[in-house]
Amino acid sequence: MRICIVGGGLAGLASAVSLSKALEEDSDVEISVVEQRDFSSRGATFGLALNGQMALQEICPSLLEELKNIGVLLPAGGYMLPWFRVRDGLLECAQRCQNVTILTNTAVVSVIDQCDDAILVTLEERSDDETINTTTVKMDLLIGADGVHSSVRSLIGAPPAISSYTKCWRGALNDLPPDLSHVLDIPVAKMIKTESGWFSIFNFNTSLTGFVSWVATSKNLDATTPLEALEGIEDSNDLALARGLLEASTQQELEFSTILSTIPLETETGWGGKGRITVIGDAAHALRPASGLGGSLALEDAVLLTRAVTKHKVSGESMHATLREFESLRFVRCKTIVDDQTRIAEAGYGKAAKVFEWTPEYEKWLFTGPDADPNPPVNMYVGGGGEEEEEDVVEGEAPAPKNRSKGKPIAGSSLITLLSVIVHQMIALVQGQEQQNPMTMNGGSLLAMTGKNCVALAVDKRFGSGPQMVTIAPRHVWSPHSNLMLGFVGLEGDVQSLSDDLKLEVARKRNRALGFGTDSAERRISPPALACITSHILYQQRGYFVEPIVVGLMEKTQKPFLCAMDMIGAQSFSKSFVCSGAASMSLYGTSEALWKPNLEPEELAEVCGKAFQSALERDCLSGYGILVYLITKDGITEYDLASRND
């Protein structure tokens, strides 16, 4: 079997590796990858979502582990990676395959599908835009994996891509100027809203030292450089940050732009393939980069196409029928995701960005991977969705989401339940009983403050059941190593469960050699990484009545890191102080009054203790002693302070 894959990007190389692995015992299999350019280090940021990880596990498990080592772990379980590192990894895998040949500077200029016999493919080898050789070869299967503006789609008469009327620039920096070193303190990513788009910064420093990438998008098609797309940034610091990154970038990055386009997958036109020819990846279903799902869908394509071709070899079914079955299997899933990403992307360009929140059912279906049911769940968005929200998606004008406050009408049984709850609450109020808030039922508070190359975390010792005192025990804290701590406050049972889950997850990742541990200073888990893992667990297991705070020092710069989270893992970062727990309202006031920038370690411990002690005197659910943990480059120092016991 002779297979020609057009395109040496992620989809093409993944397909080559997957097919080679599945058909390696067949000596007659020859796979050619045709790429019209050289393999240069281009591209910006790639998101390897959970579904992409499952697909890559089937394609090349060793590469998946390698990418996890260099990737930045995201709260939803995905990894943020430089695009070219993923491409280079797949390229190395393909070059190791005995039955794979890679042709660069070569383009497909004509295709004649003889259907029952073979495909005649004409290749042109080029140098400096001049044709130096032309050959025509016979192929049993042609796979178009050559991107959104696919030459294969054009040659077989498939509908072209549709412009989203959004201009995009991308760039990356390996060596930041000294005045931009604070960019490395950005936790994972920073999104800056402009008048006509977004300026996004992605920080890879925790896994790739000093590496930062940026993406600028704008609806202003007259803009010739990303500097012109920065209009409308309200915060002067954000504007200076964006300008600084662009001025440090290469002239080529500033001048080269693309118009984001999509292939919307219409029922009337189908997937796009015909005869012995099919398309995958962006050539089949290019989608908007709203949630970073395009690359993961391409990896799914590679796995499922390989399964289809393997089935063809065994069953003897015609290649035409095999490819149409593959396309039919992929169509509904990919169309659903393409339309969803278009809605989300376009909604973000309004004056006030609209929010589409996925339902747990849709999110689970989305990230299941190659083995997902082809048909999506009925409800896609929280507050009513699914079929009710399905509308024709017009590029440049996303359908408005329904009012989330409306949702679905309350069914009879649900209405009775709701009324029952209201009646019980009214009876409790009449009898003088106050409903217990799970977040404050056991009492307790946390306060974290930053200083000059130091950070402090204060916790109280009271454990109660509502206003009733039970025992004296410090709030639960965990220190993975000497420059990092995590404090928990909330419902004690949930605190213990979350703590156990978190320790198990960190241990699991350490045992899988994902790049951090507690035995080596160079491989210790960073504060942003711990915050991401904690946020991911809280969201995945949402229902924990816990509000954790992550504090620590960045490994390279020794700058303080503060991150507070709510019960579903939403992160809040601060360069001054954060607090949570029963006395949080009082803590905001006392901390605002006493904290000031660049406190020395001893001053920070004193200020943090005073602010915490003052707030506890105003709250009956906290107190009975204070522990202040001071983190410096030399380790953790503990201070035990007295407080009121009434």
Whether residue 91 contacts residue 8, with contact meaning beta carbons closer than 8 Å, is answered with yes
* Residue 577 within a domain: yes
Q: Check which CATH number belongs to the domain holding 93 and give it.
A: 3.50.50.60
In a domain, 462, yes or no: yes
Residues 151, 172, single domain; the answer is no
Is 364 contained in some domain? no
Residues 52-80, mean pLDDT to the nearest whole number: 90
What is the spatial distance between Cα 245 and Cα 240, in angstroms, rounded to a whole number? 9
Q: Based on the domain organization, do 565 and 617 belong to the same domain?
A: yes
Note whether 203 and 315 are same-domain residues: no
> Is 399 a member of any domain?
no
pLDDT digits (tens, 9 = 90+) for 492-547: 888 888 988 888 888 876 665 444 444 444 467 889 989 999 998 998 888 789 99
Residues 233, 136, single domain; the answer is no
The reply to whether 65 and 172 lie within a common domain is no
pLDDT tier at 408 (50, 70, 90 boundaries)?
very low
Q: Other C-beta atoms within 10 Å of 223: how many?
A: 19
Question: Residue 399: is its pLDDT beyond 50?
Answer: no
Asked if pLDDT for residue 46 goes beyond 50, the answer is yes
For residue 515, is it within any domain?
A: yes
Q: Residues 6 or more apart from 105 whose CB is under 8 A from it?
A: 35, 36, 37, 38, 125, 126, 127
Same domain membership, residue 268 and residue 174: no
Residues sharing a CB contact under 8 Å with residue 74, sequence separation 6 or more, in sequence order: 47, 80, 188, 532, 536
pLDDT at 403 over 60: no
Q: CA 179 to CA 171: how far, in whole Å?
A: 18
Residues 17 and 143 in one domain: yes
Residue 404 within a domain: no
Q: What is the pLDDT of residues 411-438, one digit of tens each?
A: 333 333 334 444 444 444 444 444 567 7
Answer for the pair 87, 10: CB distance below 8 angstroms, yes or no: yes
In a domain, 314, yes or no: yes
pLDDT digit string, tens, across residues 138-195? 999 999 999 999 999 999 999 999 998 999 999 999 888 888 999 998 888 899 999 9
Domain that holds residue 430: 409-437
Please tell me whether residues 102 and 232 are part of one structural domain: no
Rounded Cα distance between 179 and 240, Å, is 11
Closest by CA to 15, choosing from 101, 143, 155, is: 143
Domain end (from 294, 311, 343): 343
The residue out of 236, 257, 278 marking a domain boundary is: 257
Euclidean distance between CA atoms 426 and 433, whole angstroms: 10
- Residue range 315-338: average pLDDT? 92
Mark whether 248 and 309 lie in a shared domain.
Answer: no
CATH code of residue 459: 3.60.20.10
In 3D, which of 457, 549, 561 has the Cα closest to residue 495? 549
Question: In degrees rounded to 5, what are phi and psi of residue 362?
Answer: -70, -40
Domain final residue pick, 257, 289, 317:
257
Percentage of the chain modeled with pLDDT above 90: 52
pLDDT reading at 590 higher than 70 = yes
pLDDT tens digit string along 436-467? 677 777 888 999 999 999 999 999 988 777 66
pLDDT tens-digit readout, 202-225: 999 888 888 999 999 999 999 999
Q: Give yes or no: residues 203 and 96 share one domain.
A: no
**pLDDT bucket at 2, cuts 50 / 70 / 90:** very high
Same domain? 309 vs 456: no
**Total number of domains constituting the chain:** 4
Residue 366 within any structural domain of the chain: no
Which one-letter DSSP state was computed for residue 577?
E
Q: Specify whether 471 is located in the same domain as 518.
A: yes
